[in-house]
Structure 1
Amino acid sequence: MTTFYFVRHGETEINRQRRFNGATVDSPLTKEGAEATERLAEQLKDVPFDLVVSSTQQRAQTTAEILLAHHNLLDPSVLTTDSRLIELNLGEWEGVEIDSVSDHPQIDNYMNRPDLFDAESIGAETYDSLLERTNEVLQDLRKQYPDGTVLIVSHGIVLRTLLKTLQGIPLGKTREGAPFANASVTIAHTDGDDLVFDTWGETF
């Protein structure tokens, strides 16, 4: 059985400014984002992780570094990165204010019906591409750590899309309900080919 801890990075300056925080833009964690991550770190400090893997984007790496800095069992040097865990690339919308594209014909699909989202129209990555690369990561980790505990630090759209589809939710419905909060943790374990969720989007 592989146990996964999925963490969304702490709040960033771009998050607070209500801009799209995609694959080619980044910004530091806010003071509150770092503090929330530290509270999460206190909850995870004794978990015997076999691997800590972060998106290659700085906001995720900073979050992982804070988690490791509080950990009683692990040295920060154990942190690894994987570019397949980066956020969805939003093309022309990267870094722009969300409200500035409120009239775009694709914004409703992006926000509510990802199965209908025409990514090509704004030079963005498709949700199918995101699912392909992130599922590859999980399959690789399941093979490498069949009895291990793995911490993954990634991004809001990545985790929401990947984990909801693994629950059996159709892509078109993955944006329903509240998004994962910044500095939240979701815990799941493998059961044969399935992934069983024990904790969903918990914050501290």
Structure 2
Amino acid sequence: MKSKTIYLIRHGETDYNKQGIVQGSGIDSELNENGHSQAAAFYKRYANTPFDKVYTSALQRTHQSVANFIKDGIPHKILPGLNEISWGKTEGKKPNPVEDSFYWDVIKKWKSGETHLAMEGGESPEDVIRRQKIAFEHIINQDHEDLILVAMHGRAIRILLTLLTEIPVSEMDNFKHSNLCLYKLEYSYLTKRFKILEHNLTDHLALISA
């Protein structure tokens, strides 16, 4: 095996996403009607892709986003290391500039390089990277899994992409994402490096109304 191809998706929409409420790893929300439609559209486009394995976080919104692939019999493994960042006391809230100034201040400091900082009661981006390293080392070390599908979360994907492309985690916001978007990645066993082949693809969502 010279390389591994990874289809990395963000989960479909939940009501928390729709309302701008922070979820994080502590909110195990379900997909809403639109989220299920997004998942169905992604499946319609990629149903014939010969995935060897499906990996998800431990949260049900990722499981629901790839449920049709799992029903097809593709092996599925849950890796909690792929969970969304913990937003601590902000989870379940819709942050506003007045009452949640600490939240916005931490996000601003992340961009300036203070990625060791965490939300109150939550995780820092550097905390997330530590567990993502373990999860992706597992994924990379699996033989006979040349093409895999990984379902994760928005902020976690941004953090992961900095890890995999070896850039500072403070640059995570350069990676755009939307619900049920797709990043295509390739890992070379020769160079031991990742390459992003496609960024934030959403063309499959046009199939929702098809």
How far residue 89 of structure 1 moved from its aligned partner, in angstroms, is 0.7
- After alignment, is 180-189 or 164-173 more displaced? 164-173
Aligned positions, number: 197
Pick closer, same or farther for the CA change 1:111–1:6 going to 2, 3 Å: farther
Tell me what 1:59 maps to.
61
Percent of residue pairs bearing the same amino acid type: 23
- Please give the per-residue CA displacement for 1:31-75, whole angstroms capped at 9, x wherever unaligned: 111111211112211111111111110111111214445xxxx41
Residue 27 (structure 1) aligned to one of 18, 29, 46? 29
SS of structure 1 residue aligned to 2:101? coil
Please state if 1:131 is matched with 2:129: yes
Contact kept in structure 2, 1:8 and 1:156, CA below 8 Å: yes
Q: Distance in 2 between matches of 1:27 and 1:101?
A: 26
Q: Distance in 1 between matches of 2:69 and 2:108?
A: 30
Q: Distance in 2 between matches of 1:90 and 1:183?
A: 21
Tell me what 1:172 maps to.
170
- Please give the per-residue CA displacement for 1:74-110, whole angstroms capped at 9, x wherever unaligned: 416x222111111101111111112276642341332
Structure 2 segments unaligned to the other structure (5+ residues):
205-210
SS of structure 2 residue aligned to 1:33? helix
Tell me what 1:194 maps to.
193
SS of structure 1 residue aligned to 2:173? coil
TM-score, length-scaled by structure 1: 0.87
Q: Distance in 2 between matches of 1:12 and 1:194?
A: 33
Pick closer, same or farther for the CA change 1:187–1:8 going to 2, 3 Å: same
TM-score, length-scaled by structure 2: 0.85
Aligned letter for 2:15? E
- Please give the per-residue CA displacement for 1:103-148, whole angstroms capped at 9, x wherever unaligned: 42341332562532531x6111111111111122111111113661
Please state if 1:5 is matched with 2:7: yes
Pick closer, same or farther for the CA change 1:29–1:96 going to 2, 3 Å: same
1:65-84 correspondence to structure 2 within 5 Å = 65-69=67-71, 74-75=72-73, 78-84=75-81
1:95-110 correspondence to structure 2 within 5 Å = 95-99=92-96, 103-110=100-107
SS of structure 2 residue aligned to 1:52? strand
Q: Distance in 2 between matches of 1:82 and 1:101?
A: 36
